[in-house]
Amino acid sequence: MNDTSVKLQIANRSYPLKGSAEELILLEKAAEMVNQRLKEYETAFGVRDLQDLLAMCSLHIAAEKLGYQKEMTTNEEEINRELDVLNDLIKSFGKENSVL
């Protein structure tokens, strides 16, 4: 594995990280998103304390993740129901044709 190093800036602090090029691209995008959200919260709520902003950002991101997980579970359940219907149709079609 070819790990490379990068220093990411989050909330005016530098964080050195190592990882593959693909991982670092994702981490850089994530750091940009966090910094953008921190700016949005600072503007919207007038909060200047970085610890408070980071806590708000963490809470929001965690809530989003939980929402996506719930949505994925719901989608998976719906897909499974549809697959069951298709399997039943295939079985009934096979039974009809085996009688002939």
pLDDT for residue 98 is more than 80: no
3-state helix, strand, coil in the chain (%, to 5): 75, 15, 10
Q: Extract the tokens encoding 92.
A: 């009934």
pLDDT of amino acid 94: 81
The predicted-structure confidence for 26-81, as pLDDT tens digits, reads as follows 999 999 999 999 999 999 999 999 999 999 999 999 999 999 898 889 989 999 99
Kindly list the distances between the CA atom of residue 24 and the CA atoms of 11, 15, 48, 58, 78, in Å, as whole numbers in the listed order: 18, 12, 29, 20, 35
Q: How many CB atoms lie within 10 A of CB 15?
A: 12
pLDDT for residue 12 is more than 60: yes
Q: What is the pTM of this model?
A: 0.69
